[in-house]
Chains A and B, each alone.
Chain A
Amino acid sequence: GDSVTQMEGPVTLSEEAFLTINCTYTATGYPSLFWYVQYPGEGLQLLLKATKADDKGSNKGFEATYRKETTSFHLEKGSVQVSDSAVYFCALSDKGGADGLTFGKGTHLIIQP
């Protein structure tokens, strides 16, 4: 079945550092890929998405590129802020939205001033 693997953390960085959170996936078809973010005490919200190979999703300074050859969708940001502290989930959908998302276990990111 489909699965998503991501580094579990916690990942602790200083403000203005470069961020990479790795995500790799296993899917039978050609999935759409997503990053969701969960701030403390809140539900998940969509951060960015990519629907086909070589697509780059971007939002709020975060980027991720759909790499079919390495089955990866790593999340990056050039300069993190304290407000980026949250849990980040990589997810995929393999059936055009007919089914729910398959999520990774989440990566807890802590940004220190």
Chain B
Amino acid sequence: DARVTQTPRHKVTEMGQEVTMRCQPILGHNTVFWYRQTMMQGLELLAYFRNRAPLDDSGMPKDRFSAEMPDATLATLKIQPSEPRDSAVYFCASGLSLLSGYTFGSGTRLTVV
């Protein structure tokens, strides 16, 4: 089965450091999402792209978060500077349409100390 690949799987970093998370969507999928999962808030939509163009990033703290798709095979989510409250699992998902379902990666577990 085709998979969404996220790297790294785990990341521990110190407060103030830059963190970059990467996602390889399934080939041919034109929509890519970034979600953040925490115990308190559950799953929150951070940003999404269609055909590599950013459509909505209203869920992201703009002062420290940025999301890009430099090409169709790579999406990145960057946090600079990182803070302890950014500790969460970050999921990337890709798909063709809502009704066909989105495929999620296994997530990046970020811990900021």
Q: Does A78 contact B (CB under 8 A)?
A: no
Q: Does B105 contact A (CB under 8 A)?
A: yes
Give which listed residue, B48, B99, B104, contacts A44 with CB less than 8 A: B104
CB 8 Å contact bits of B28-64 with A (1 = contact, 0 = none): 0000010100000011010010000001100000000
B105 to chain A, nearest CB (A): 5
Known contacts: A43-B103, A43-B107. The answer to whether A103 contacts B42 by CB under 8 A is yes
By secondary structure, the A interface counts as loop
Known contacts: A41-B106, A43-B104, A44-B104. The answer to whether A100 contacts B56 by CB under 8 A is yes
Q: Does B98 contact A (CB under 8 A)?
A: yes
- Give the B interface residue count (CB, 8 A): 21
CA distance A7 to B103 in the complex (A): 24
CB 8 Å contact bits of B85-110 with A (1 = contact, 0 = none): 00000010100011101111111000
CA distance A74 to B38 in the complex (A): 24
- Give the A interface residue count (CB, 8 A): 24
* Chain A residues positioned under 8 Å from B107 (CB to CB): 43
- Docked-complex contact A49 and B104, CB < 8 angstroms: no
Please choose the segment from A19-27, A64-72, A89-97 that sits at the chain B interface, where 4 or more of its residues have CB less than 8 A away. A89-97
* Chain B residues positioned under 8 Å from A38 (CB to CB): 104
* Chain A residues positioned under 8 Å from B35 (CB to CB): 100
Q: Does A45 contact B (CB under 8 A)?
A: yes
CB-CB nearest in chain A for B105: A43
CA distance A96 to B99 in the complex (A): 9
* Chain A residues positioned under 8 Å from B97 (CB to CB): 97
Q: Does B4 contact A (CB under 8 A)?
A: yes
